[in-house]
């Protein structure tokens, strides 16, 4: 039996050459984009690490509990409440808290009023007295409420970084976990988490100061790629 070998020639047409050029161009563009994105990610994470480093500098300098500035104590009233509540002297809410100003190695001065620690997710940060986009890059910030460890609802906000920095691991906190808040006098109070839930960005009901005379903490960060906010509520043990 004779075996017949058949060879076939592949003819490269102009259309095939055109498609090859397109595929090659797309491949090169993809590689360039991956390199650019990788460099951007590395630079971004490096900048975040540098900025977070300033928060550690602030904590180290907070070892000296001397208060630089003491502002007037005022009684906070809730406009939505029909009943007036008399708060005893010494347990008043403070809209203008005691503040310690600390200068970091970047030459900028930051006003702080305490530190917060969540052992279950391994974070401890100083709390800056104001909340701005620039300050949120440095540390956690006070959003609303009285002075630290005073009667009322002390609200703290922080970025949700994928690396786990700031409040990046806040979603891992569970009911029953403990949060400690240390004020400038060195007083530390332990709070226990009793609720965790998401809200819309416009929902600020979690910042209400109606706490029935108790001391509470509210921790807030972004979730669902910024579409919602994650709220963690804690109460003094």
* Count of domains forming the chain: 1
Q: Would you call 108 helix, strand, or coil by DSSP?
A: coil
Residue 193 has pLDDT above 80, yes or no: yes
Burial class (CB in 10 A: 0-12, 13-18, 19+), 155: buried
What pLDDT band is residue 65 in, cutting at 50, 70 and 90?
A: very low
DSSP one-letter code for 234: E
Return all residues near 111 (Cβ < 8 A) that are at least 6 apart.
69, 99, 100, 101, 128, 129, 130
In a domain, 229, yes or no: yes
Range of the domain at 88: 29-236
Whether residue 92 lies inside any domain: the answer is yes
Alpha helices in the chain (DSSP H): 14-61, 133-136
Question: Where residue 26 falls among pLDDT bands split at 50, 70, 90?
Answer: confident
Judge whether 56 lies within some domain.
yes
Query: Does residue 10 fall inside a structural domain?
Result: no
Are 209 and 78 in contact, with CB atoms under 8 Å apart?
yes
CATH code of the domain in which 97 resides: 2.40.260.10
Residue 97 lies in a domain: yes
**Structural domain contains residue 137:** yes
pLDDT (mean) for 103-126: 94
Averaged pLDDT, 146-160: 96
Residue 115 lies in a domain: yes
Query: Is 45 contained in some domain?
Result: yes
Window from 23-27, 114-118, 140-144, 232-236 with minimum mean pLDDT: 23-27
Distance, in Å, from the CA atom of 225 to the CA atom of 159, rounded to the nearest integer, reads 11
């Amino acid at each position: 039996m004779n075996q017949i070998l058949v060879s076939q020639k592949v003819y490269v047409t102009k259309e095939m050459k055109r498609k090859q050029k397109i595929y090659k161009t797309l491949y090169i563009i993809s590689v360039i984009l991956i390199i650019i994105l990788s460099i951007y990610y590395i630079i971004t994470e490096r900048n975040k690490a540098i900025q977070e480093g300033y928060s550690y500098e602030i904590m180290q300098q907070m070892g000296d509990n001397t208060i630089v500035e003491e502002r007037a104590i005022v009684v906070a009233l809730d406009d939505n409440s029909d009943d007036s509540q008399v708060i005893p002297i010494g347990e008043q809410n403070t809209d203008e808290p005691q503040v310690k100003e600390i200068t970091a190695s970047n030459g900028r001065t930051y006003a702080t009023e305490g530190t917060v620690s969540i052992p279950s997710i391994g974070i401890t940060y100083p709390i800056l007295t104001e909340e701005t986009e620039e300050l949120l890059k440095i540390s956690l910030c006070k959003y609303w409420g009285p002075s630290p460890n005073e009667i009322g609802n002390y609200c703290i906000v922080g970025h949700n970084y994928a690396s786990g920095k700031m409040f990046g691991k806040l979603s891992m906190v569970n009911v029953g976990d403990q949060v400690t808040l240390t004020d400038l006098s060195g007083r530390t109070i332990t709070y226990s988490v009793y609720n965790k839930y998401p809200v819309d960005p416009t929902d600020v009901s979690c910042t209400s100061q109606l706490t029935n005379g108790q001391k509470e903490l509210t921790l807030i960060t972004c979730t669902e790629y910024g579409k919602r906010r994650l709220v963690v509520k804690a109460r003094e043990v």
